[in-house]
Amino acid sequence: MPDYQLIKKELEGIAVEDNPALVRQKSRDFYWYSPILKAQLDNVTADLVVTPKTEEEVIRTLKVAYAHDVPVTPRGSGTGNYGQAMPLSGGIVLNLAAMNKVKQIHPGRVICEPGIVIAELDRQTKAHSGQELRFHPSTAQTATIGGFIAGGSGGVGSITWGGLRDIGNILRLRVVTMEAEPRVLDLTGWDLTKVSHAYGTNGIITEIEMPLAPAYDWVDVLVGYDDFMDSVRFSDALAKCNGILVKEIAPIAAPIPFEYFARHKPYIRQGQSIVALMIAPHAMDPFLAFTSQQKGEITFRSDKVESMKGIPHAYELAWNHTTLRAIKVDPTITYLQVQYPGPDHVAKVQKMVEIFGDEVPGHLEFIRFDGQIQCSGLPLVRYTSEARLEEIIRIHQDHGCPIFNPHRYTLEEGGMKQTDTVQLAFKKETDPKGLLNPGKMIAWDNPNFDFAAGQNYLFPGLAALM
Ligand code: FAD
């Protein structure tokens, strides 16, 4: 057992918290979205929370942790859904929230620290020069930019710009390594794939350079249809419409909108499916003409309501906020993350709707994927048992709809179900003792793990906690 009193002494001058209740609070994320992760991770907690204010304090913390063989799990705001920010082996939670400065803003790019909340970053770039991030998660009001890069994938704006995996959507990351003498590395180009979406397993991001787009006062719109598939076809057609500038297109099946979107309920009829949209103000006229041609019913416009007080942003009905709003009303609900590869993505969605009906109420996000318009989905699941959930996953896969499993805490099982050799090689270089966010990269713990065998990975340290 590490000597945490000594460690605290060695970290003197840096903010350190060891109150068990507060440490436990900062050892959580949104893992409880999944009944499976909830059972597995409920007892996970760190020993200390360290909150550095500067890169120099990050380096000092990693040096001390390395010397004492103490695991370090970075944390932004803890809004990840898969236990990404949860310290499976205890040790230190490295809370980056105090490293929240914007350093420089230029035409087309911003340089900032990792702990700034995304909406605040957008606020500053907009005030400075009318620019905003190309896309952001629906948690923009709470999540940090560092946590998004290390734990997220895409979001509001991905209809135009694709996702974080697309080269050009991150410009540069500065990363501190976990070694006896931590190094500071600047990564650009393809090297960015070493640490983006690596859950902080192979370096701590201390500085970020992101591309920017022109900012608009986006208009929130809801378009209603009586049939979910009509809303999907409308969304597909709008997404392919070259001239109308949109930032978000999310068709959401009945009964989700009426049952779970409390603040928008006055604008939605029972049994109505909706499309949650963000439209550039100058695009409203062509958008209205297009929607009328498509026989969509405009049920809500943020530029026409008297006040938006108490009404959430349209993007806070979409992405994983759809799930959040449903769980708040019915805690037995969970969800899946589905891809519907094109060009026949609409037909694939239709097939899944026919098979599952109200057991898996539909929710799609239209995005640009490898240059093509496609949709991915975060459908709700009316959860009955783990066995049925596995069956629902299998049926999707059998119909050519891959699942990114949100009920797993490892990078591989939540992703492509294969070793990311680039991230593994970088971990060998930057974290030789395997102290950064242990248990999240199967390839590090068990290089012989057979992904094709169909078993789930259980991090050995967790078995004792369950
Ligand atoms: P955390 O949850 O704190 O951390 C995420 C991961 O990054 C962890 O593995 C952590 O260890 C690591 N990390 C954090 N900071 C650093 C750092 N400086 N250096 C290295 N590693 C670090 N995700 C999307 O992609 N798109 C969405 O639209 C979206 N919508 C969501 C909606 C809801 C309601 C919820 C609950 C989640 C959603 N998510 C979404 C997931 C999550 O909110 C985002 O990925 C978010 O950006 C994570 O930011 P965070 O600051 O909370 O990171």
Closest residue CA from atom 45 of ligand 1: 152
386 found inside a domain: yes
Backbone angles phi, psi at 207, to 5 degrees: -150, 145
Atom of ligand 1 nearest to the CA of 320: 32
Residue 389's CB is within 10 A of a number of other CB atoms, namely 19
Q: Which two tokens stand for residue 337?
A: 């993350």
Q: How far apart are CA 409 and CA 412, in angstroms?
A: 9
pLDDT at 414: 87
- Residues 247 and 215 sit within 8 Å (Cβ to Cβ): no
The identity of residue 451, as a single letter, is F
Query: Does one domain contain both 177 and 275?
Result: no
- Of 398, 433, 461, which marks where a domain is finished? 398
**Mutate which of 28, 50, 79 to test ligand 1's pocket (most atoms within 8 Å of Cβ)?**
79
Query: Does one domain contain both 194 and 230?
Result: no
**Mutate which of 135, 148, 313 to test ligand 1's pocket (most atoms within 8 Å of Cβ)?**
148
Averaged confidence pLDDT in the chain: 96
297 found inside a domain: yes
Those residues with Cβ within 8 angstroms of residue 127's Cβ, 6 or more apart along the chain or in another chain: none
Q: HSE, CB side, 13 Å, CA atoms: give it for residue 442.
A: 21
Percent of the chain past pLDDT 70, that is, above it, reads 100
The candidate with the shortest Cα–Cα distance to 250, out of 397, 147, 152, 349, is 349
Backbone angles phi, psi at 397, to 5 degrees: -65, -40
- Residues 279 and 303 sit within 8 Å (Cβ to Cβ): no
* pLDDT above 90 (res 252): yes
**Mutate which of 202, 320, 337 to test ligand 1's pocket (most atoms within 8 Å of Cβ)?**
320
User: Could you tell me the distance, in angstroms and rounded to a whole number, from the CA of residue 149 to the centre of ligand 1?
Assistant: 7
What is the pLDDT confidence band of residue 455, given thresholds at 50, 70 and 90?
A: confident
The candidate with the shortest Cα–Cα distance to 299, out of 321, 273, 318, is 273
- The domain total for the chain is 2
**Mutate which of 32, 116, 139, 435 to test ligand 1's pocket (most atoms within 8 Å of Cβ)?**
139
User: Could you tell me the distance, in angstroms and rounded to a whole number, from the CA of residue 119 to the centre of ligand 1?
Assistant: 14
163 found inside a domain: yes
Q: What is the pLDDT of residues 381-421, one digit of tens each?
A: 999 999 999 999 999 999 999 999 999 999 999 887 888 99
Contacts 24+ apart (CB under 8 A), 279-282: 279/218, 279/219, 279/221, 279/244, 279/245, 279/246, 279/247, 280/216, 280/218, 280/219, 280/245, 280/246, 280/247, 281/216, 281/217, 281/218, 281/219, 282/216, 282/245
Radius of gyration of the chain from Cα atoms? 22
Q: What is the pLDDT of residues 326-355, one digit of tens each?
A: 999 999 999 999 999 999 999 999 999 999
Atom of ligand 1 nearest to the CA of 175: 19
Q: How far apart are CA 83 and CA 446, in angstroms?
A: 19
Query: Does one domain contain both 289 and 348?
Result: yes
164 found inside a domain: yes
Lowest mean pLDDT segment, chosen from 42-56, 311-325, 415-429: 415-429
Residue recorded with tokens 């970088």: 426
Closest residue CA from atom 1 of ligand 1: 78
pLDDT at 417: 81
DSSP state letters, 421-459: HHHHHHHHHH-TT--BSTTS-HHHH-TT--GGG-PPP--
Closest residue CA from atom 34 of ligand 1: 321
CATH number at residue 231: 3.40.462.10
pLDDT at 465: 75
Helix (H, G, I), strand (E, B) or coil at 146: helix
Query: Does one domain contain both 231 and 370?
Result: yes
7 found inside a domain: no
Query: Does one domain contain both 195 and 208?
Result: yes
- Span 190-203, average pLDDT: 97
Q: Which two tokens stand for residue 417?
A: 């179900």
Residue recorded with tokens 């620290």: 113
Is 322 close to ligand 1, i.e. is its CB under 6 Å away?
Answer: no
- Span 369-379, average pLDDT: 95
* pLDDT above 90 (res 456): no
Q: Strand 72-75 relative to strand 92-95: parallel, antiparallel, unpaired?
A: parallel
- Residues 102 and 60 sit within 8 Å (Cβ to Cβ): no
- Residues 241 and 270 sit within 8 Å (Cβ to Cβ): no
* Phi-psi map region of 324: left, alpha, beta (phi>0 left; psi -120 to 50 alpha): alpha
Q: For 357-420, where are the alpha helices, taking DSSP H only?
A: 386-398, 411-414
Q: How far apart are CA 41 and CA 466, in angstroms?
A: 8
285 found inside a domain: yes
Is 201 close to ligand 1, i.e. is its CB under 6 Å away?
Answer: no
Query: Does one domain contain both 204 and 325?
Result: no
Query: Does one domain contain both 146 and 256?
Result: no
462 found inside a domain: no
Is 324 close to ligand 1, i.e. is its CB under 6 Å away?
Answer: yes
Residue 387's CB is within 10 A of a number of other CB atoms, namely 8
Query: Does one domain contain both 148 and 267?
Result: no
- The ipTM assigned to this model is 0.99
pLDDT at 3: 97
* pLDDT above 80 (res 464): no
The answer, yes or no, to whether the previous bond of 266 is cis (omega within 30 of 0) is: no
Q: What is the pLDDT of residues 103-139, one digit of tens each?
A: 999 999 999 999 999 999 999 999 999 999 999 999 9
Query: Does one domain contain both 182 and 290?
Result: no
DSSP state letters, 180-227: SS--EEEE-GGGGGGTTTSTTSS-EEEEEEEEEEE---PEEEEEEESS
Closest residue CA from atom 25 of ligand 1: 152
Q: Which two tokens stand for residue 420?
A: 């990311």
Task: Write out the H or E segment, with its range, that includes residue 250.
Answer: strand 246-252
Is 73 close to ligand 1, i.e. is its CB under 6 Å away?
Answer: yes
- Of 214, 243, 270, which marks where a domain is finished? 214
Query: Does one domain contain both 136 and 236?
Result: no
CATH number at residue 205: 3.30.465.10
20 found inside a domain: no
* pLDDT above 90 (res 450): no
Those residues with Cβ within 8 angstroms of residue 43's Cβ, 6 or more apart along the chain or in another chain: 465, 466
* pLDDT above 90 (res 452): no
Percent of the chain past pLDDT 90, that is, above it, reads 94
Class of residue 128 by CB neighbours under 10 A (exposed 0-12, middle 13-18, buried 19+): middle
Atom of ligand 1 nearest to the CA of 117: 51
Query: Does one domain contain both 113 and 262?
Result: no
**Please, what is the angle between helix 228-239 and helix 345-356, to 10°?**
160
What is the pLDDT confidence band of residue 461, given thresholds at 50, 70 and 90?
A: confident
Domain of 315 in residue numbering reads as 219-398
Sheet holding 297-301, edge to edge: 246-252, 273-279, 219-225, 297-301
- Residues 183 and 204 sit within 8 Å (Cβ to Cβ): no
pLDDT at 418: 86
- Of 152, 179, 214, which marks where a domain is finished? 214
User: Could you tell me the distance, in angstroms and rounded to a whole number, from the CA of residue 52 to the centre of ligand 1?
Assistant: 19
- Residues 298 and 285 sit within 8 Å (Cβ to Cβ): no
Query: Does one domain contain both 193 and 266?
Result: no
Is 335 close to ligand 1, i.e. is its CB under 6 Å away?
Answer: no
- Span 445-461, average pLDDT: 85
